[in-house]
Structure 1
């Protein structure tokens, strides 16, 4: 017997590496040492740091994967994977440096894997980080036919004195929200249940696009828009709005003495969230603690920095909303006005 008889095709795996080499080459940075195919990815720490601190993050795509597989919308899943990792390390003020991926399946289909990894490479380009390695695992018997999973890992760097840890946040600071592209990569177990029970057609209209397009929109990557503002020390805190929404994520970056007062009328709720709430009969409190509801990243800035930050972010292509202020805490960490 051979390894192929057992369900593992080594030649297909080797050919996949050759297929993706041109994609990976586009993500390279000067600090990358060596090439693809070694036992470990080599990356030199950038020069110019006095006390460099490395910030690491890892994540997956979640059950959005299943919706992507079922609808044959695989091309944006790699961007989701990168975004969930790099946006997290960005919150500490870190510039993402490099990324590694893990792709696991029961039977390797080169075309499927290449589509996902192409998305990963594109996401790395968007984030300015290098894709320096990864792992493709073929594990027959562990995954059902056609299924796969993907995970990612990133490392960023920040000067120790410049770490964003919430300590600079003050009473009266302004909360700015950056628009999301949709649910990003959170809440998809609930989304899939709503789709199943509602019997909705994936091709039905949802705010000028099809429902499946709205649900599968790739997670927005905020790195290049925010790094200049971080470098200019204009930001007191950042918060990536993932699973848990504003309700559970904002407290992670706030001092114990302050609360975020949020005006829910300060931004329009995208059509995809309106559909989810109506079709699933989801309570407003559940919407707020499950989905980003249209805000993918939050900045806390001093009042005199609002216009400069808004101008720079809009110039970088972001949609910016002033969604609240910091107030003394007397109860909950996040207080909603509407």
Structure 2
């Protein structure tokens, strides 16, 4: 049974976004994110710079989350935080802050697995339908590409993963080859709207079982671009939209083939998407188009919950709070935390 007024402060600091949210039960009252633009000039996240920025941002972000929600610290019932996986230096900032505040307020501390949170974000109260168990969780982001059989809130079985690069990383690396900015995923997606996805053909890398591989695809793109720019110096400019569309089409096809295989293998026609790349229009459209064709149920997260955010940490914290599944001050942040 739900507690009438359970207030959770959630903190997320796994990579380069400092985020805090306040949830009342399963309802989000505030969800504040401070992004770190400094990484754009480096073409990727610099861990040391990220952890320093978290130290500067965490107090103002938490303060803003409380004020926007209209909640006082003394009203909080628990503090949920990202224990991992992620960048260790970044995780340590959020972990230390959460532990200190928990001790100061003398309220429970709840550790959260970042990857579980991306999928359990679908249980936040809003106008969207909530998936039933079991379902196939598909987490696609800059750091991870995973297929997960989710049997219950905290019964996760990893059934497929990337053997090298994550899909978001592949988007960014291909974008760098094309001379696009960072992060390149949204730029490729935008350009692809005006391109032909079948203009250029790239091979689908083979990987055993339900695993995927993106490193070889990146190499193919590099070689393809190099070969054609040697022949025509204006090749990129003349074909940018078609290149973006073709690259995006293949990146999506790589994971889609494994999704289709997993649904057939486990007989679970419910697909729940999570992670930054779940905002990609090509992936969203492909899966939604397959709903009627294959009698699937496809659950897409709201765009605000696709990137790293604290609301998703908060809903996991709330679900754990109901079970009195509290963490410990002694638990350390873990860069490679497993389910």
TM over 0.5: no
TM-score where L is the length of structure 1: 0.28
Whose strand fraction is larger, Structure 1's or Structure 2's?
1
Q: Greater RCO between the two (CA within 8 Å, min separation 6)?
A: 2
